[in-house]
Amino acid sequence: MTSHPRRLLRVIAAVFAAAAILGATGCAALPEDAPLMERLDSETGVTVSRLGKPVELYRDTFLQEAAGRFAFIAPFETNQMGSRESFLWIAVPVTPAPGLDPVIEIDGAAITLTVAGRDSQVANLTKSPYKIPTPWSAMYYYKIDDAMLAKLGAASKITIRVTEATKSGTAKTIFSAPITDSRLKDFAAR
């Protein structure tokens, strides 16, 4: 008779251990290289759907410092109690000339975007939906519609042209890259 209570305690302990392991793995974050991700902005209650990592664009002219060689672009969607809005996020590692937004081209044609917001509050978020290795980058947030999202999804090349403030005035800086994976297409199609 005394072996049954011990066996029962062992079974109960095993069940609790299994539940704890499953609970811990259920709370684990998706890796940043996952194709698509969702996260909750805990301060605003907004759910953010985004790419696992943004599309990386390369500076057309060589730059010695690695941190200034790349710009980033990616769409994201916010969902606040069923109200969905799509945005295009851009980060450029330069000091932009005052009053001049970047020009974004898809397959060589400039696209028309709304007036850019300069911080995540435009999308009702407390922080940027994407992490970047250059925290001093200038960030832009554009509200976009389904047609613009479809253009992004069909892009074979994306270019960002920025007028950069320099010590001697301004300079044009270009970042571009061919689209070689399906992340934008998958995001637009979801």
What does the pLDDT read at residue 61? 81
pLDDT per position as a tens digit, 161-174: 999 998 999 999 99
Whether 9 has a pLDDT exceeding 70, the answer reads no
- What is the CATH topology of the domain spanning 36-189? Immunoglobulin-like (2.60.40)
Q: What angle do CA 122, 56, 101 make, to 5 degrees?
A: 45
82: its two tokens: 């069923």
Percent of the chain at pLDDT > 90 equals 67
What does the pLDDT read at residue 58? 94
What does the pLDDT read at residue 28? 41
What's the whole-model pTM score? 0.79
pLDDT per position as a tens digit, 87-102: 999 999 999 999 999 9
Secondary structure of the chain as H, E, C letters: CCHHHHHHHHHHHHHHHHHHHHHHHHCCCCCCCCCEEEEEECCCCEEEEEECCCEEEEECCCCCCHHHCEEEEEEEEEEECCEEEEEEEEEECCCECCCCCCEEEECCEECCCCCCECCHHHHCCCCCCCCCCCCCCEEEEEEECHHHHHHHHHCCEEEEEEEEEECCEEEEEEEEEECCCCHHHHHHHC
**Domain spans in the chain, listed from the N-terminal domain onward:** 1-30, 36-189
Could you tell me the pLDDT band of residue 135, with boundaries at 50, 70 and 90? confident
What does the pLDDT read at residue 76? 98
169: its two tokens: 């005035």
Least confident residue range of 32-46, 115-129, 167-181: 32-46
What does the pLDDT read at residue 5? 63
Distance, CA of 122 to CA of 119 (rounded, Å): 6
**Average pLDDT of the residues in 142-152:** 97
Whether 12 has a pLDDT exceeding 60, the answer reads no
- C-beta neighbour count of 171 within 10 angstroms: 13
Whether 181 has a pLDDT exceeding 90, the answer reads yes
